[in-house]
Amino acid sequence: MRSLLYVSTVAAMLIFSGCGSSEPTVDDSANANNQAEEINIVDENSDNSNMESTDLDGGSTTLESIEAKMSPIYFGFDQYKLTEEDIDTLHQNVEMVKNDTEAANIADKYSLKLEGNCDEWGSDEYNFALGLKRAQAVKSELINDGIVAEKITTVSYGSSNPVCTEKTQECWSKNRRVDFKILP
Amino acid sequence: MRAIFGVLFLSLLLWGSDATIEVRKGVDALPSIAVEDASVDYKKGLSKRFFRVMVSDLNVLSIFNVEREYVTADFNDKSVPTVHKKIDYIVRYQLREEKGVMVVKVNLFNNDKIIHKLTYRIKNPKQYVFLVHTIAASLNDFMGAEPADWIKEKVLISRTTGPGRSEILVTDYTLSYQFSVKRNGLNVFPKWADKSKKYFYYTYLSHGVPELRKYGIYDKSDKFIMKSDGMMVCSDVSDDGKKLLLTMAPHGQPDIYEYNVASKKKKRITKYSGIDVNGQYMADGKIAFISNRLGYPNVFSKKITGQATEQMVYVGKSNSACTAHNNYVIYKARESANAFSKNTFNLHLISTKTDFIRRLTVTGINEQPLFSRDGTTVLFVKKYKNQSSIGVIRLNQNKNYLFPLKGGAIQSIDW
């Protein structure tokens, strides 16, 4: 009976030790053993290369100058709804294009791409969706302003396309944005 | 008294089978092991790197106390050096070249006796890392430990190389072997197409419209699968490789779809005006996914064929990523109410069958958890002090290991 009591006590101790609230042990010791050996293979079969530079009729300099005049729309943390201030900025962008003859001509010929971006917080897949919702919010407001929906495309880069890489709140706020790009 | 003991014993068995309960083993109870390099006329640099990866692997197996000192020996010596006399097990390896092929012999000693022998040949010595992992898995099996085949698996990572640029690498879990397979533009969210690991799906983003493509790491084929305005991510692949869970937004609205690889037909799984992402196959025809339907990202589940959704997690402020294995889910949670505090993101393990929650990490930003196929081990990405690392969690052994990436940041991983 005494041995049975002892076994029961040990079993109970094992159970309660399983409920302990102490943190898991973190062993960083393996760091020192990581031997990176990079093998760089140029992928010649890829048909994805050289696709970024496109020579447009309007001249890339002109397009870039118009893009530069359109202010990005900035968002709060984990937000994708436009504020009154955002809507004012959007209206200013639209007016700028309408009042500039050259910009208006280009706007007639080309499409507008809205690029949604996020800061580095949150998971990458969630950030891609968040960036898309931001781009969609801007698209909806532009449609309300009379822009033809078919001329607007949206894309999200999540946190993969930061304009600022410092670890500050000011920097992160610059990355929570929608950029305007003109496409042929 | 017997009844009491019976209840206690039954409780122990039931609790012991739940991975959400921490298992803490005394380190001193583990047998000791040391590694000896007995290579002859072989490149000293490689044989030393072989040593370091072997020590690392034995450590991660979590069944030994591993000696780290580099020691050489004569491969044919039938006894172990004096310095290792008190060590329980010795792994002695020899690398040598034979007709242009690297031959690797391994002897495992116990009490001055050879108890296990292994021999391997490898044509490309640059792939020695996977050979070390194979040896470690074999030694693990010989010791009768919990299977560790995950250690041999090829790992895919997308590495951010600059704003709007990333490449996809084939690597191993320690990042010791790195082979760049996709460059130019933004190549993100790589996902193995099936268990054979000859092909992977990935998202290509440079034209403006995100494309899902399938790449062959051996035949270098690069096949367009489909595209979707706004967003296109392969979040999970079914065990048989026949179905994919995608997050896509054909009408600007990010939702989860299931894609049939054979029929090329897709089916919408979620329909919500906010954000639904990160679909993960679970047991019983269910998926786990991340949704902001409560106003912040959290983990939900639903049947693939049903409409009702169920909140799975009630702890954490911003639970924006998850992985599932049968009835277990690991999720990433923000620890404090302050969105930008230093007490950042940790991983937690829950069971759909119990109320237990087990925290798996303690510092830094820990994200993108991924179960091994057998569910015993978790791979994740750790970001700490401007450095990305791959982390390995041995669930039953309650141990974490880190392997830092030299240069760039890890965007996404799969194994």
The answer as to whether B204 is a domain residue is yes
Which residues, at least 6 apart from B10, have a Cβ–Cβ distance to it below 8 Å? none
Question: Do residues B275 and A127 lie in contact, with contact meaning Cβ atoms separated by under 8 Å?
Answer: no
B399 and B264 together in one domain: yes
Report DSSP letters for B298-346, one per residue: EEEEEESS---EEE---S-S---EEEEETTEEEEEEE-SSSTT-SS-EE
- Window from A22-26, B194-198, B230-234, B280-284 with minimum mean pLDDT: A22-26
Range of the domain at B109: 20-149
Domain boundary pick from B120, B149, B178: B149
B163 and B83 together in one domain: no
Q: How confident is the model at residue B379 (pLDDT cuts 50, 70, 90)?
A: very high
The residue-averaged pLDDT of A138-142 equals 93
The answer as to whether B1 is a domain residue is no
**Mean residue pLDDT across chain A:** 70
Q: Mind listing the pLDDT tens digit for each residue in B76-106?
A: 988 888 888 889 999 999 999 888 889 999 9
Q: Which residues of B touch A34 (CB under 8 A)?
A: 56, 174-176, 403-404
Nearest to A26 by CA among B151, B361, B330: B361
**pLDDT at residue A179 is higher than 90:** yes
The residue-averaged pLDDT of B262-274 equals 95
B218 and B70 together in one domain: no
Q: How confident is the model at residue B11 (pLDDT cuts 50, 70, 90)?
A: very low
Q: Which residues of B touch A156 (CB under 8 A)?
A: 210, 230-231
Q: Which residues of B touch A45 (CB under 8 A)?
A: 220-222
Half-sphere exposure of B171 (CA within 13 A, CB side): 32
Q: Furthest-apart CA pair in chain A: how many Å?
A: 99
Q: Which CATH number fits domain A60-183: 3.30.1330.60, 3.90.1720.10, 3.30.460.80, 3.40.50.620?
A: 3.30.1330.60
Indicate the residue of A49, A52, A128 with minimum beta-carbon distance to B231. A128
The answer as to whether B185 is a domain residue is yes
Domain boundary pick from B109, B132, B149: B149
Cβ–Cβ contacts within 10 Å for residue B38, how many? Answer: 20
Q: Which residues of A touch B292 (CB under 8 A)?
A: 78
In the block, tokens 């640059």 appear at: B126
Mark yes or no for CB contact B12/A78 under 8 Å: no
The residue-averaged pLDDT of B381-399 equals 88
ipTM given for this complex: 0.83
Domain boundary pick from B92, B122, B149: B149
Q: How confident is the model at residue B24 (pLDDT cuts 50, 70, 90)?
A: low
In CATH, what number is assigned to the domain containing residue B69? 3.40.50.11830
Q: Mind listing the pLDDT tens digit for each residue in B301-334?
A: 999 998 899 999 988 878 999 999 988 999 999 8
B110 and B170 together in one domain: no
Least Cα separation, residue B183 to chain A (angstroms): 7
In the block, tokens 């959290």 appear at: B298
Indicate the residue of B11, B230, B400 with minimum beta-carbon distance to A154. B230
Q: Mind listing the pLDDT tens digit for each residue in B167-210?
A: 999 999 999 999 999 988 899 999 999 999 999 999 998 767 89
Query: Which residue on chain A is closest to B277 by alpha carbon?
Result: A126
Nearest to B354 by CA among B11, B8, B12, B21: B21
The answer as to whether B14 is a domain residue is no
Strand partners, B410: B159
Residue B157 sits at the chain A interface (C-beta within 8 Å) = no
Q: Which residues of B touch A19 (CB under 8 A)?
A: 21
Q: Mind listing the pLDDT tens digit for each residue in B48-61?
A: 999 999 999 999 99
Residue A54 sits at the chain B interface (C-beta within 8 Å) = no
| Rg of chain A, C-alpha, whole Å | 27
